[in-house]
Amino acid sequence: MRYLRTFVFLLLLSPVHAAEWEESPKVAKLFNNASVNGTFVLYDITARRLIGHDRTRAEKRFIPASTFKIPNTLIGLSVGAVKSVDEVLPYGGNPQPFKAWERDMGLREAIAMSNVAIYQELARRIGLERMRENVLRLGYGNAEIGTSVDTFWLLGPLRISAVEQTQFLAKLAQEALPYPRALQEKVREIIVVEKSAHWTLYGKTGWENAPGAGVGWWVGWVQKDRRLYAFALNIDVQNASDASKRVELGKSSLEALGVL
């Protein structure tokens, strides 16, 4: 029965259940002007429509890097590895790539500054078997976590495509994941990026192999009036200066498509 449920969730999150792909010349122009190799996907949840740039890359799986902090938070809360998003976790006392990471903090603060050490501690508290069971339950990407509980989303084997990111986030935005609604609401609460009179922007960045060359992500969704739009961008980051293009290009794409 457990395997049947896993299959059902994988099927529900599969991109084949979204609408057909529509290529956007406006978004393609933005990528070309920025001299960036990457993809952008917008999933109009109400219309069940996918629109974006470079379908082939959009369907290719990459290491999720810090975008996995979203499901990691949900899993951690669901298994009781933390009592709340504000429970303080230790960073471990070791030198970190960024000085700001070298202190204890809760998940609310850690996800905002993408503190890897804090989320590695959370993953260790969850444990390998509970993590594997819940990644399968979510149908997240290839759902493979290997044998290292605190590196699988940074080094692999976990991989996910941009299209699959939008399917996962669409479920979270609608409180439709197989977890209590209150827990999904807590996760949504800590990834709010920006608000206006008509829309709320949720998002999380990721950067494989930071601060070196790798794949950079920006994923999330926009709630605009009564409509929901999930999105995912990934680009090739050649140097540190490319990292800022993730959010810049993502926002420009959302604006070009009339979402922001």
Low-confidence ranges of the chain (pLDDT < 70): 1-19
Catalytic, out of 14, 35, 66, 252: 66
Q: Is 66 a catalytic residue?
A: yes
Please give the pLDDT value at position 10: 43
- All structural domains of the chain with their residue ranges: 2-256
Q: Enter the pTM of the model.
A: 0.92
Please give the pLDDT value at position 5: 41
In CATH terms, the superfamily for domain 2-256 is DD-peptidase/beta-lactamase superfamily (3.40.710.10)
Distance CA 55, CA 63 (A): 18
Distance CA 86, CA 173 (A): 21
Distance CA 19, CA 150 (A): 35
